[in-house]
């Protein structure tokens, strides 16, 4: 599901063309990015007609404000403010209505510069097309789709990490192999997306896509971090040794029989009795403890078995603690990456504000 979008029309401007007209600046915000779209009233009327025609001649749940023939918004601030609020309410009603058919229309998404949606993600389409055409370096040059592909890349890496965790916790070889196969498929798709994103950044650096140098550097850092994460996951995948659970394998059964023969008491079968067949006392000297001093050979073997079982239980508990610590580490890593992305957005906003300050300073100098 795509992240929720907040829609607003905070400001209006007057175009410098002749005759002039009012431009409505639409701001759209998602958790990790925001962008603006500039439209005039005639664009809204075209949108309304397109939504009606693409939805079987069913009009949207909101109506456009009526056009005034006696006043113009360029000469009436009151009319401009009223129409701004009405157009903002028009967009929000379509965006929040329970019936999503108008929001799913191509006209709506094109009007707001939203990425196209369907049953497959943008990254899945690009990866599939690249693999079918044997061209793994299909660049993603659209700035909006680039972010969508990067978001899907993070999902692939997260799924690969989850499959590797499931493989480590699996108790049977078949489950381990299945989890390894799923993790490998996720890493292959992630590698394809990385190539597409990296080559797309190179193209966008050569072309004038409207992205500042700060934003390009931030996206390069995101690609570099994703490459390191993928390489680390691939190393974990390749250095795994399958567990031998002993279920259905003759060597493990034989080992069990050997252990039972060691712990079994009786004449001619116990290793301790073969050493001292006529006495319950141990013949070979060793440092005794309070727990073994009053025990015979059979009791010592039983005590050793009990201690080994306690150690096995401690190892299981320690494994659970380590897995919890690993999960906490993964969550901390994800949070740090999110904070890094937000810092990158802040850097982009600072660059944009710096550019605006330069323009304002130049205008002030001209006025002086």
Residue 349 in domain: yes
Write down which residue in 92, 114, 136 finishes a domain: 114
Residue 249 in domain: no
Residue 301 in domain: no
- d(C-alpha 221, C-alpha 29), whole Å: 23
User: What one-character DSSP code corresponds to residue 139?
Assistant: -
Write down which residue in 79, 114, 149 finishes a domain: 114
Token pair, residue 123, equals 């990254």
Do 108 and 26 lie in one domain? The reply is yes
Do 128 and 236 lie in one domain? The reply is yes
Domain count, the chain: 3
Predicted pLDDT at 6: 87
Do 165 and 183 lie in one domain? The reply is yes
Task: Report the helix count and the strand count for the chain, using DSSP H and E.
Answer: 10, 3
Do 128 and 79 lie in one domain? The reply is no
Residue 273 in domain: no
Q: Which residues of 110-125 are buried (b: 16+ CB within 10 A; e: fewer)?
A: ebbebeeeeeebbbbe
pLDDT in tens, 96-133: 988 888 888 888 888 988 765 443 444 444 444 444 43
Threshold 0.95, pTM exceeds: no
197: phi then psi, degrees, rounded to nearest 5: -70, -40
Residues in the chain where the model's pLDDT stays below 50:
1-2, 117-137, 245-258, 262, 265-281, 283-285
Do 93 and 137 lie in one domain? The reply is no
pLDDT in tens, 172-192: 888 888 888 888 888 988 888
Residue 318 in domain: no
Q: Where are the beta strands (DSSP E) in 66-182?
A: none
Do 86 and 129 lie in one domain? The reply is no
Do 13 and 105 lie in one domain? The reply is yes
Predicted pLDDT at 173: 80
Residue 223 in domain: yes
Predicted pLDDT at 249: 42
Residue 286 in domain: no
Domain that holds residue 95: 6-114
Do 109 and 127 lie in one domain? The reply is no
Residue 292 in domain: no
CATH code of 105's domain: 3.30.1520.10
Predicted pLDDT at 192: 87
28: phi then psi, degrees, rounded to nearest 5: -125, 130
């Amino acid at each position: 599901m795509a992240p929720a979008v907040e829609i607003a029309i905070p400001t209006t401007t007057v175009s410098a063309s002749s005759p002039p007209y009012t431009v409505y600046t639409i701001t759209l915000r998602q958790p990790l990015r925001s962008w603006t779209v500039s439209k005039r009233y005639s664009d809204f009327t075209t949108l309304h007609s397109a939504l009606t025609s693409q939805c079987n001649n069913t009009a949207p749940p909101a109506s456009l404000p009526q056009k005034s023939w006696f006043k113009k918004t360029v000469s009436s601030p009151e009319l401009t403010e009223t129409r701004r609020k009405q157009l903002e309410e028009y967009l929000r009603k379509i965006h929040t209505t329970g019936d999503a058919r108008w929001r799913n229309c191509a006209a709506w998404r094109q009007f707001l510069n939203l990425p196209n949606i369907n049953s497959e993600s943008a990254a899945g389409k690009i990866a599939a097309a690249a693999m079918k055409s044997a061209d793994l370096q299909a660049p993603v040059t659209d700035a909006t789709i680039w972010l969508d592909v990067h978001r899907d890349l993070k999902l692939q890496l997260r799924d690969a990490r989850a499959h590797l965790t499931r493989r480590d916790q699996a108790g049977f070889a078949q489950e381990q192999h299945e989890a390894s196969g799923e993790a490998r498929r996720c890493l292959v798709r992630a590698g394809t997306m990385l190539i597409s994103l990296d080559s797309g950044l190179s193209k966008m650096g050569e072309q004038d896509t409207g992205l500042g140098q700060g934003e390009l550097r931030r996206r390069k850092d995101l690609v570099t971090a994703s490459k390191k994460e993928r390489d680390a996951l691939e190393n974990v995948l390749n250095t795994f040794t399958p567990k031998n659970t002993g279920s259905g394998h003759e060597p493990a059964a034989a080992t069990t029989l050997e252990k039972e023969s060691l712990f079994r008491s009786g004449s001619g079968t116990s290793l301790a009795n073969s050493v001292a067949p006529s006495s319950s006392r141990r013949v070979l000297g060793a440092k005794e403890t309070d727990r073994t001093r009053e025990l015979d050979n059979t009791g010592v073997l039983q005590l050793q078995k009990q201690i080994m079982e306690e150690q096995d239980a401690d190892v299981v508990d320690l494994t659970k603690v380590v897995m919890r610590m690993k999960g906490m580490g993964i969550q901390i890593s994800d949070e740090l990456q999110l904070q890094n992305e937000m810092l990158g957005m802040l850097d982009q906003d600072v660059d944009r504000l710096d550019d605006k300050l330069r323009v304002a300073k130049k205008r002030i100098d001209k006025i002086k």
